[in-house]
Copies of this chain bind each other. A is one copy, B any other.
Amino acid sequence: MKFDPVLFAKAIADETRQKIMGECCCCWLSVGEIVEKVGFTQPTISHHLAILRDAGLVKIREEGKQTFYSLNQEYIAVCCGQIMIKFAPETSVTENLVKVINQ
């Protein structure tokens, strides 16, 4: 997944999608479970999941009739790191991050 800072920002720039991301951050959830937890219609949730998928922010596992989603934490960390390097290069936090990445 080639990093595109605008695509990444657009993907997370919505309250509903951030709710979805929070729900499936550290576990696998089916679309139905996400619908229950977030509270929009199933097509709306599927629409948002497609946007997250196209940006590379979720991992997908199909199992019979169901599709499970889980947040792609590694890639999200990379995206945030890249944005810090691009837009906050002179901060100590970013300098430390760069040190960790390069070691």
Query: Chain A residues in contact with chain B, CB under 8 A?
Result: 5-6, 9-10, 12-15, 18, 21-22, 25-26, 71, 73-74, 76-78, 80-81, 83-84, 86-94, 96-97, 100-101
Mostly, the A contact residues are helix
Q: Chain B CB within 10 Å — which of A13, A80, A81, A100 has the most?
A: A80
> How many copies of the chain does the oligomer comprise?
2
Known contacts A93-B100, A97-B93, A73 near B88 by CB under 8 Å: yes
Out of B6, B80, B93, B101, name the residue touching A88 (CB < 8 Å). Answer: B80
Q: Chain B CB within 10 Å — which of A13, A15, A71, A90 has the most?
A: A13
**Which residues of chain B have C-beta atoms less than 8 A from A13's C-beta?**
6, 9-10, 12-13
